[in-house]
Structure 1
């Protein structure tokens, strides 16, 4: 495994874990209501779902690579378009309190259920990993899969450690709540950037196949 691939998988897990979405909004809501310990319990439970969905996404990506470049490029095209759509929605988001989650009496159990049942988890994982790994697709093999999963877990855990560190701070919660819309829109711009990266690597291969 090359250093660039090593860092790309770590970054994929980190970005997937820390990017504001339903889970991040939920932990900030729980942290605001019950403090850092409850937020940490929620994230520890949520990490189980992340491992499942990231592992499934990596299996799909490595499988697509093994089946041929066309399959991987199609996956990259779909993922890129999906990320672009998510990014566009985030950029055009309006202020709303519907994403805030109330306190939970069992934060860990809540996190497990939330992480395993989040309908956006798998497509976002596939899209994020594809966007960052597409330029290194030729390096991916089944033998690497356990290491890819482990590295994505480390990246996600690092993201969650940062979230746990900040979720209990009153000033951080206040700033996040005050600028939630701006943060969401900036993440939308980041998603669009990932989408462009995925499409840039997928489209030339598909066009050459068609041609």
Structure 2
């Protein structure tokens, strides 16, 4: 595994874990109501769902690569379009449309359930990993899969350590709540950037195969 591929997988797991979405909004809501310890419990439970969804996403990506470049490019095209749609929605978000999650009485159990049942988890994982790994698609093999899963877990865990560190701080909660719309829109711009990257790698290969 090359250093660039290693860093790309770590970055994919980190970005997937730290990018504001239902899980991140939920942990900020729980942290605001019950403090850092409850937020940490939620994230530890949520990590189980992340491991499952990221593993499934990596299996799909490696499988598409092994079946041929056309399958991977189709996956990249769909992922890029999905990320672009998510990013456009975030950029166009209005105040009051950003969902807040209430506190949980059992943060760990709530995190497990939340992580396993989040309907956006799998497509976002596929889209994020495809966008960042598409330029190194030729390096992906089934033999690498266990390491890819471990590295994505390490990246996601690092993101959660940062979230746990900041979620209990009062000024951070206040800052996040005050600028939540701006943060959501900036994340939308980042998603659009990932979408453009995925499309730039997928479209030339698809056009070449058609021609």
Q: TM-score, normalised by structure 1?
A: 0.99
User: Following superposition of structure 1 onto structure 2, how do residues 4-153 of structure 1 map, counting pairs within 5 Å?
Assistant: 4-96=4-96, 99-153=99-153
Distance 2:18 2:172 in 1: 15
Q: Which runs of at least 4 in structure 1 moved beyond 4 Å after TM superposition? A: none
Q: Indicate the residue corresponding to 2:200 in structure 1.
A: 200
Distance 2:191 2:129 in 1: 12
Distance 2:88 2:193 in 1: 11
Question: Residues 176-195 of structure 1: CA distance to partner in whole angstroms, max 9, x if unpaired?
Answer: 00000000000000000000
- CA apart distance, 1:99: 1.4
Question: Residues 8-47 of structure 1: CA distance to partner in whole angstroms, max 9, x if unpaired?
Answer: 0000000000000000000000000000000000000000
- CA apart distance, 1:101: 1.3
- CA apart distance, 1:208: 0.2
How many equivalent pairs are there? 211
Question: Residues 55-85 of structure 1: CA distance to partner in whole angstroms, max 9, x if unpaired?
Answer: 0000000000000000000000000000000
Q: Indicate the residue corresponding to 1:168 in structure 2.
A: 168
- CA apart distance, 1:142: 0.2
- CA apart distance, 1:167: 0.1
- CA apart distance, 1:95: 1.1
Q: Indicate the residue corresponding to 1:210 in structure 2.
A: 210
Q: Which moved more, 1:90-99 or 1:184-193?
A: 90-99
Distance 1:69 1:83 in 2: 20
Q: Which moved more, 1:99-108 or 1:179-188?
A: 99-108
Distance 1:139 1:168 in 2: 41
- CA apart distance, 1:127: 0.1
Distance 1:108 1:116 in 2: 12
Q: TM-score, normalised by structure 2?
A: 0.99
- CA apart distance, 1:97: 6.3
Structure 2 alignment gaps of length 5 or more = none
Superposed CA RMSD: 0.7
Distance 1:180 1:126 in 2: 25
